[in-house]
Amino acid sequence: MHALNAPQREAVKYLDGPLLVLAGAGSGKTRVITHKIAYLIRDCGYAPGTIAAITFTNKAAQEMQERVGRLLENRSVRGLAITTFHALGLQILRQEAARIGYKPRFSVLDAADSLHLLAEILKTTDKSLLKRIQHRISRWKNDLVAPGAAATQADSEQAVAAARAYVAYQDTLRAYQAMDFDDLIRLPVELLERDPEARGKWQDRLRYLLVDEYQDTNLGQYRLMKLLAGARAAFTAVGDDDQAIYAWRGANVENLRLLQDDFPRLKVIKLEQNYRSTLRILRAANHLIAHNTKLFEKKLWSELGLGEPIHVFAARDDEAEAENVVMRIEAHRLQHRTHYGDYAILYRGNHQARPFEEALRARRIPYQVSGGQSFFERTEIKDITAYLRLIHNSDDDPAFIRAITTPRRGVGVQTLEKLGAYAASRHLSLFAAVFEVGFEAQLTARQYEPLAAFCHFINGLEYRAAREPAGVILQDMLRGIGYETWLFDQAEPRIAETRWANVQDFVGWLARKGEEEGKTLAELVQTVALMSMLDNREEDANAVRLTTLHAAKGLEFRHVFLVGVEEGILPHRECIENGQVEEERRLMYVGITRARESLTLSHCLKRRRAREFQVCEPSRFIAELPQDDLRISGRETDPMRDKQEGSARLAQLKAMLKGSS
Ligand SMILES: Nc1ncnc2c1ncn2[C@@H]1O[C@H](COP(=O)(O)OP(=O)(O)OP(=O)(O)O)[C@@H](O)[C@H]1O
Ligand SMILES: [Mg+2]
């Protein structure tokens, strides 16, 4: 308790009813949650299994788990649920599957799989059309609109078509015994609303709820929270309306107000001291966000001293920007003897990462990308995951197709088409259809054998998955399918090597996880599919962190480089056109407030677009910062000279350090 200030302590100890902690960035909201979990368990006698804390990403959940573990020292926290809304929804659905007509071993499709499925249903390969429909369906689901009801809400021909696709899509998912990501919220809500017994059971089980980053919950998540909290309304939600950056995914800051309407007894506690950033960084953040219309009045102050001015520099083009940032990091690190892990490069969109990755690689600086293409999205990892999904649920048709064709094992396209037609006519999954006499009769022995062998192979793995150590089975599986050889047949050696190394990383990680957590492969695969959708594998602590602003939420770094601060990027062009500049300003606010000791903003004078250069303007947000706190460089100077000076300075520093050590 001594590690908390007075209002934080009050928030931790308050158990008389629903509580909202509404406060700006870095004021210790997440800290309130971790301490409150510890307080509930240690001082109030709550069994860990009766508490659920909800975070925004798996990564944040992991971090929180570690912090709570440290606060409670050796006490066991078995059963304590620190998860995301989606993982909690999944947990509920696995246990209640029967109540909604699913097998407990249903599959969870990620965005790419669901796009595939839509393509099949709509018989089109038009990617942008498919993405639009997928997005539309996702919004309906987030707003808890059932497939049948979507058509009545459709206000254009396009929307009517999407509503029709939604119905077909949902039917197909059900036939595959599969769900998509959004179903993990929508279906539990539907279930708990409809089924008082299930509702009572979960309300009994979860005696206290804690929700971090509450401002970014969407309607479905809010409803789930309300259903779980029940009449007792024992919950603590913490959030900051100025950091609401997920409107595009259906999140609604109005949920903050809704909370006050729905729970008249709601107590609100505000935190005003920021423990993260220097005064200048904080001043910049406050100045910027003052340009937005206010939902709630908040103040923030800090005792961490004035700090360095905020550096703003212009670069010749995007490559020079990357070069310059990387050089600054290297120079700063040498000068201040810091670690690479103290630095973060934040950007608006994933495509901005490439030049930075290249510049970092060129200097052999370790880095880690998050919030972009996750490790799990890589083709080779998805190949292996397809096998795991199939072992887990043999009725998962998309996984079946991927596994049986990767590597190809002598099963022809025509055979697969026959199988598809037969399975459809008999309302069976592909896997189940293989074992039907009626199907076997349609094929020659040469056609049938490889199919049957494949299914027996999967069955064998499934049997072992519940019994043997994960590592052994996985290696056997890789050998059995000849994956390594296949990789090297497919791609040039350099690429194949990387892919094979990734596969070994993945398999090794699963094996370790199995050992550490005492889980069988069968148990492990249940979580893998979900993790893949959310974030990366474990971090390299001593690496420069590259991340999108969205994925940086809740995190903090000693030194932050916020790059591409230009009109059209931040604020994003589409958002300017659609009148969403306020959301972009919040995104910038999130970026600024990640910094603890120093903040550097950069923008380009020109940027490569296709094969041409485009002239760029600095973002309007730079003009909205307190100008006295900025140190601006590079706008008038010659960028080539900058670069040479940078290199010379770096060489000088290195020589100096060599001399001193
Ligand atoms: N009472 C305190 N004493 C010392 N340090 C604190 C205190 N409260 C918070 N901190 C530290 O301040 C930093 C910010 O805290 P935290 O991440 O909980 O803030 P937050 O409000 O959740 O921020 P965000 O809005 O970015 O999610 C952390 O490093 C935390 O350890
Ligand atoms: Mg936080």
| Ligand 1 within 6 A of CB of 25 | yes
Query: Separation of 577 CA from ligand 2 center, angstroms?
Result: 31
E strand intervals along 176-309: 178-180, 208-211, 235-239, 267-271, 273-274, 301-302
pLDDT for residue 505 is more than 50:
yes
| Ligand 1 within 6 A of CB of 26 | yes
**Residue linked to tokens 């996750």:** 374
Percent of the chain whose predicted confidence (pLDDT) is above 90: 57
Residue 140's identity, in one-letter code, is W
* pLDDT tens track for 161-172: 999 999 999 999
What pLDDT is recorded for position 538?
A: 45
Percent of the chain whose predicted confidence (pLDDT) is above 70: 93
Active site residue 30: yes
Q: Which residue has the higher pLDDT, 248 or 336?
A: 336
What value does the mean pLDDT take over residues 482-511? 85
Q: Which of 64, 246, 275, 588 to mutate to test the pocket of ligand 1 (most atoms within 8 A of CB)?
A: 275
Question: What is the C-alpha separation between 166 and 49, in angstroms, rounded?
Answer: 37
Kindly report the protein residue whose alpha carbon is nearest to atom 11 of ligand 1: 275
Protein residues within 5 Å, CB atom, of ion ligand 2: 29-30, 554
| Ligand 1 within 6 A of CB of 421 | no
Q: Which residue has the higher pLDDT, 294 or 261?
A: 261
Name the pLDDT band for 644 (thresholds 50, 70, 90): low
Active site residue 29: yes
Considering the entire predicted model, what is its pTM?
Answer: 0.78
What pLDDT is recorded for position 108?
A: 87
* pLDDT tens track for 551-573: 999 999 999 999 999 999 999 99
Non-local CB neighbours of 159 within 8 Å, separated by 6+ positions: 136, 153
Question: What is the C-alpha separation between 163 and 150, in angstroms, rounded?
Answer: 5
Q: Which atom of ligand 1 has the smallest separation from the CA of 34?
A: 18
What pLDDT is recorded for position 306?
A: 95
Active site residue 396: no
What value does the mean pLDDT take over residues 580-585? 95
E strand intervals along 221-266: 235-239
* pLDDT tens track for 18-76: 999 999 999 999 999 999 999 999 999 999 999 999 998 887 888 899 899 999 987 88
Name the pLDDT band for 533 (thresholds 50, 70, 90): very low
What pLDDT is recorded for position 656?
A: 66
Percent helix, strand and coil across the chain, each to the nearest 5? 60, 15, 30
| Ligand 1 within 6 A of CB of 28 | yes
Kindly report the protein residue whose alpha carbon is nearest to atom 9 of ligand 1: 28
Binding residues for ATP, by number, are 23-30, 276
* pLDDT tens track for 194-209: 999 999 999 999 999 9
Query: Separation of 63 CA from ligand 2 center, angstroms?
Result: 11
What pLDDT is recorded for position 528?
A: 65
Q: What DSSP state is assigned to residue 25?
A: T
Task: Please name which ligand lies nearest the alpha carbon of 274.
Answer: 1
* pLDDT tens track for 430-481: 999 999 989 998 989 999 999 999 999 999 999 998 888 888 999 999 999 9
pLDDT for residue 536 is more than 50:
no
Three-class SS state of 107: strand
What pLDDT is recorded for position 226?
A: 95
Query: Separation of 604 CA from ligand 2 center, angstroms?
Result: 31
Q: Residue 167: phi, psi to the nearest 5? A: -60, -50
What pLDDT is recorded for position 377?
A: 65
Specify the pairing of strand 544-548 against strand 557-562.
unpaired
* pLDDT tens track for 350-404: 878 878 887 887 788 888 887 555 556 678 888 998 999 899 889 988 889 899 9
What value does the mean pLDDT take over residues 641-661? 65
What pLDDT is recorded for position 60?
A: 85
What pLDDT is recorded for position 649?
A: 67
Kindly report the protein residue whose alpha carbon is nearest to atom 23 of ligand 1: 26
Active site residue 243: yes
Question: In the structure encoding, which two tokens stand for residue 337, read together?
Answer: 């003897």
Catalytic residue among 96, 113, 180, 212: 212
Name the pLDDT band for 290 (thresholds 50, 70, 90): very high
| Ligand 1 within 6 A of CB of 490 | no
Three-class SS state of 129: helix
Task: Please name which ligand lies nearest the alpha carbon of 592.
Answer: 1
Query: Separation of 244 CA from ligand 2 center, angstroms?
Result: 12
Query: Separation of 217 CA from ligand 2 center, angstroms?
Result: 14
Residue 519's identity, in one-letter code, is K
Name the pLDDT band for 110 (thresholds 50, 70, 90): confident
Active site residue 63: no
Q: Which of 29, 276, 587, 597 to mutate to test the pocket of ligand 1 (most atoms within 8 A of CB)?
A: 276
pLDDT for residue 637 is more than 60:
no
Task: Please name which ligand lies nearest the alpha carbon of 8.
Answer: 1
Query: Separation of 556 CA from ligand 1 center, angstroms?
Result: 9
What pLDDT is recorded for position 228?
A: 96
Active site residue 132: no
Query: Separation of 553 CA from ligand 2 center, angstroms?
Result: 8
pLDDT for residue 537 is more than 50:
no
Q: Which residue has the higher pLDDT, 299 or 70?
A: 70
Q: What is the mean pLDDT of the chain?
A: 88
Residue 89's identity, in one-letter code, is G
What pLDDT is recorded for position 638?
A: 52
Name the pLDDT band for 532 (thresholds 50, 70, 90): very low
What value does the mean pLDDT take over residues 577-600? 96
